[in-house]
Amino acid sequence: MEKFVFFGGKGGVGKTTVSCAYALKCAEAGLDTLVVSTDPAHSTADVFDQAFGDDPSAVDGHEGLWAMEVDPDEEVERHMREIRRRMNEQVSAAIVNEIDRQIELAHRTPGAYEAALFDRFVQVMREADDYDRVVFDTSPTGGTLRLLALPDFLGEWIERLVAKRTKSVDLFEKAAVGGREARRKLDEDPLIAHLQGRKEKFEFAGRTLREDAAFFVVLNPDELSIRETERAVAEVAEQDLGVEGFVVNRVTPAPDDDERGRGATWLRERVATERERIDEIDREFDEPVVAEVESRVREVKGDLLAAVADELAVDVDVASAEA
């Protein structure tokens, strides 16, 4: 398995549960494992009955397991502050006010946080030297994955800007005495440096996601979930990334063979419908169903997590990345 493991899928299918169970499995196999939760409902805290912050902290009672919770709102704040600071540095004072208003406007606009979140993911991946495995309880979605195309796009922009600026610096040099000063200015151009930084960041992200990351889709055995999965697989494929397989979560248990009554009938029919859906997944996708996890009567936490981890037939081996 690759170092970075993402469990994607639509909301409510149980990504956090599956991620925590898998992280637990990895830790129990002796890997130093970090689970990164992004759920605004902070459910990693519920699963382990322990509060986590923006930096990794050890999970009580589980050796080799760390967890962190990324707060998307806070990431947006940070992002906006950074943009504002940079703008103030680079732009003539005259239009700073107008830009401040625009930033505020953008901040009120929904969705800024997906971008901020992706930035944070990249940072976590960059600083993950201490861990053998990092498990994310979500996967970048279509809009975010499209950010991986940014390096090409920014590259072009940077080239055009450099060409433009080189020209003006050349003119300046021809007119000026010495000229060394002007040339140095181009190297230090803060806008170009910033764009270059962004470009490198997204190049790193693209490279890491392609070479050292595995994507799983968590789904429930119902039609809607399968349809969403088609979209998720297509979006991931669009960026030359591959989905390793599917984790079918919340599979209804069958009653005993000799059970009769309203409950048993309901369960049997439900199990049959779900079996149809799982067969459909097998038929429609190239990627395998790697695990089926039974639906629990209560929320998965404490000892139940270990039981789920036992059912989660997802490989933890580090060496298989090279296979």
CB count, 10 Å around CB of 84?
A: 16
Per CB under 8 A, contacts with its own copies among 223-252 are 223-225, 227-228, 231
Window of 113-121, 241-249, 281-289, 303-311 that interacts with its own copies by CB under 8 A: 113-121
Considering the rule CB under 8 A, would residue 146 count as an interface residue with its own copies? yes
Residue with tokens 């953008």: 106
Q: Binding marks (x or -) toward its own copies, 91..110, rule CB under 8 A?
A: ----------x--xx--xxx
Task: For residue 239, report the phi and psi dihedrals to the nearest 5 degrees.
Answer: -100, 25
Considering the rule CB under 8 A, would residue 177 count as an interface residue with its own copies? no
**Tokens representing 157?**
């922009």
- The β-bridge partners of 223 are none
Cβ nearer to its own copies, comparing 13 with 243:
13
Q: Report yes or no: 313 and 270 within 8 Å, Cβ to Cβ.
A: no
- The β-bridge partners of 37 are 69
CA 275 vs. chain centroid, Å, equals 30
CB count, 10 Å around CB of 70?
A: 23
CA 258 vs. chain centroid, Å, equals 46
Considering the rule CB under 8 A, would residue 190 count as an interface residue with its own copies? no
The secondary element (H helix, E strand) that includes residue 123 is: helix 112-126
Considering the rule CB under 8 A, would residue 159 count as an interface residue with its own copies? no
Cβ nearer to its own copies, comparing 73 with 310:
73
Considering the rule CB under 8 A, would residue 196 count as an interface residue with its own copies? no
Considering the rule CB under 8 A, would residue 266 count as an interface residue with its own copies? yes
Which spans of this chain sit near its own copies (rule: CB under 8 A)? Answer: 10-13, 40-41, 43, 46, 101, 104-105, 108-115, 118, 141-144, 146-147, 149-150, 153, 157, 220, 222-225, 227-228, 231, 253-256, 258-264, 266-267, 269-270, 272-273, 297-299
